[in-house]
Amino acid sequence: MLSHLFATVVFSLLVSGCAEGAPSRANAEPATVAARAHSGPALWVVKDPDTTIYLFGTVHMLPQGFAWRNAAFDKAFDSADTLVMEVVGVENSAETQPAIMKIGFTPGLPKLAERVPADARDDLAAAIKHAGVPATALDPMETWLATMTLSTARIVRLGYGIDSGVESELKARATTQRKRVEGLETVEEQLSFFDTLPEDEQRKLLVLSLDDMDAIQKIIDTAVKDWAAGDVDKVAAVLEEDIKSSPQLAKRLLADRNANWAEWIDKRLKTTPGTVFVAVGTGHLAGAESVQAKLKAKGIAAERLN
Q: pLDDT of the chain along its 306 residues, tens only? A: 334 444 445 544 332 333 333 444 545 666 666 544 457 899 999 999 999 999 999 988 899 999 999 999 999 999 999 999 998 876 666 677 888 889 999 999 999 999 999 999 999 999 999 999 999 999 999 999 999 899 888 888 989 988 888 999 999 999 999 999 999 998 888 888 888 888 998 898 898 888 777 888 888 888 889 899 999 888 887 777 666 666 777 788 888 999 999 999 999 999 999 999 999 988 899 988 999 999 999 999 999 998
DSSP 18: G
> For the stretch 100-129, what's the b/e string if a residue is b when 16 or more beta carbons lie within 10 angstroms of its beta carbon?
beebbeeeeeeebbebbeeebeeebeebbe
β-strand 43-48 against 303-304: which pairing, if any?
Answer: antiparallel
What is residue 237's predicted lDDT score, i.e. its pLDDT?
A: 79
Residue 274, Ramachandran bin (φ over 0: left; ψ between -120 and 50: alpha; else beta): left
Contacts of 257 (CB under 8 A, 6+ apart): 185, 193, 284
Q: Which residues contact 299 (CB under 8 A, 6 or more apart)?
A: none
Question: What residue ranges in 61-135 does DSSP mark as E strands?
Answer: 62-63, 82-85
> E strand or H helix at 268, and its extent?
helix 256-271
CA distance linking residue 217 with residue 220, whole number of Å? 5
Q: Is the whole-model pTM more than 0.95?
A: no
* Cα atoms in the Cβ-side hemisphere of radius 13 Å centred on 198: 6
Q: Would you say 181 and 50 are in contact if contact means Cβ atoms under 8 Å apart?
A: no
CA 236 to chain centre: 15
| Mode of pairing for the β-strands spanning 180-183 and 82-85 | parallel
Torsion of CA 99, 101, 106, 110, to 10 degrees: 120
CA distance 244 to 5: 10
Q: Kindly state the DSSP code that residue 162 receives in the 8-state scheme.
A: G
Q: State the Cα–Cα distance between residues 275 and 281, nearest whole angstrom.
A: 20
Question: Using an 8 Å Cβ cutoff, are 187 and 99 in contact?
Answer: yes
Nearest Cα neighbor of 10 from 153, 199, 204, 189 is: 153
What is the predicted pLDDT for the residue at 91? Answer: 63
Q: So what's the pLDDT on residue 35?
A: 47
DSSP annotation of 287 reads S
Task: Tell which residue, 60, 13, 67, 52, has the closest CA to residue 228.
Answer: 67
